Amino acid sequence: MTRSASGVAGLRLAHLIESDGPGGAERVVAALATAMQGAGAENIVFLPAEGEGWLGRQLEGSGVAIEYFRIERPVSVSCARSLTQAFRRLRIDLAHSHEFSMAIYGGWAARRAGIPHVITMHGSRYYADRLRRRLALAAAIALSERTVAVSMPLARQMSRDLWIPRSRLVTIPNGVRYEAAERSTLRKDLRLGPADRLLVAVGNLYPVKGHEHLVDALALLADRHPHLHLAISGRGELEHALTSRARSRRLEGRVHLLGLRSDIPAILAAADIFVLPSLSEGLPLALLEAMFAGCPIVASDVGEVGVALGRGDAGMLVKSGDSAALAAAIDLLLHDPQGARDLGRRAASRALAEYDVSHMTRRYVSVYEALRPSCLRLHVPAPVPHS
């Protein structure tokens, strides 16, 4: 990573995100800050003062420093002021904000501190349903040096939503650092036998993830595949609703809600098929991890998912929100084990070629490197105080 190191060595980078739970955007921040630290930059991640602490724990031992902020009301002048003061105190050269809220406050503070600002939007369109939010995000983009979308469809949607030229948006796909599981006990933990088949989904239990449609798909397949099970890794507001849905469709004992898990490679290793039933996405890390694991994949054709899967060459694509289409694709793979294995091999090959974390970090280095002449100070890095 010689070129990367030369591009960011000596820079002091701030990474800002409003949430610090175990989500995809948070994992990208951890991977990016850690990679930039290894490339010679000094990195400070700004997290919510009363958050979960998950992201901070992921960064322990990496050399990345942590700072905290508070957003006290819908429009928090004090948050922007405190971020500006922190940027100056820590001699930040460039600020990189993730998702809506920090795009606004990070951009505001970076402008006041006189430093370049980069925004990354990961797929959430929280801003889209209110004109005030759209105007605020459009203004933040106008005041920022670069805005990144993690997928081409997201970039096109942002251009339409925010009335900004498509040329103002850079696309950088997400990447993951995948490590294969040494062993998996999930099938044993679920008391599955040799004849049982297991569908796996990974994603928090929110409506946008489409898990209700996956449960309905399993109900459509239940009679034809009496040994078919579904395991969902994630947490969220729909836990009780999904349990009730499974019960109402007489799927007790066949739908397994695993809760929040840190051993995703082990979960994927136990899967016969990975299913992504999302209604909306940018480029989900769970999909990329399933590709690296060589899982046969059935996925909703949303966001950048179709591109990642080679328009169907490396996974089966179905219309989002269509339980019958999900069931039909799963049924086809269950009846064609060799075809399923071939899909998994092609998925793993595409993941290695396109979606390793090194590809993502190189692209961000190019963004930082291009902005380096705009930084107020290019100095030898001083020790960064840890909070």
What does the pLDDT look like over 19-49, one tens digit per residue? 998 888 999 999 999 999 999 999 999 999 9
The CATH number given to whatever domain includes residue 305 is 3.40.50.2000
Is 379 within the bounds of a domain? no
Same domain flag for 96 and 48: yes
**CA dist 387 to 17, 39, 41, 92, Å?**
17, 23, 19, 16
Question: Is residue 382's pLDDT more than 80?
Answer: no
Same domain flag for 142 and 254: no
Q: Which two tokens stand for residue 146?
A: 């670069």
* Location of structure tokens 């996974």: 315
In this prediction, residue 50 carries a pLDDT of: 87
In this prediction, residue 183 carries a pLDDT of: 87
Task: Report DSSP state, residue 222.
Answer: T
Same domain flag for 201 and 152: no
Is 382 within the bounds of a domain? no
Domain that holds residue 100: 2-177+357-374
Same domain flag for 309 and 194: yes
Which is more confident, 110 or 72?
110
DSSP string, 255-292: EEEEES-S-HHHHHHT-SEEEE--SS-SS-HHHHHHHH
Q: Tell me the whole-structure pTM to 2 decimals.
A: 0.85
What is the number of domains present in the chain? Answer: 2
Same domain flag for 346 and 370: no
In this prediction, residue 6 carries a pLDDT of: 57
Rounded mean pLDDT, 70-98: 94
Q: pLDDT digits over 371-380, tens only?
A: 988 764 444 3
Is 385 within the bounds of a domain? no
In this prediction, residue 177 carries a pLDDT of: 87
Same domain flag for 255 and 164: no
Question: Is residue 60's pLDDT more than 70?
Answer: yes
Same domain flag for 215 and 273: yes
Average pLDDT, the chain: 92
Q: pLDDT digits over 232-289, tens only?
A: 999 999 999 999 999 999 999 999 999 999 899 999 999 999 999 999 988 999 999 9
Percent of the chain clearing pLDDT 70 (strictly above): 95
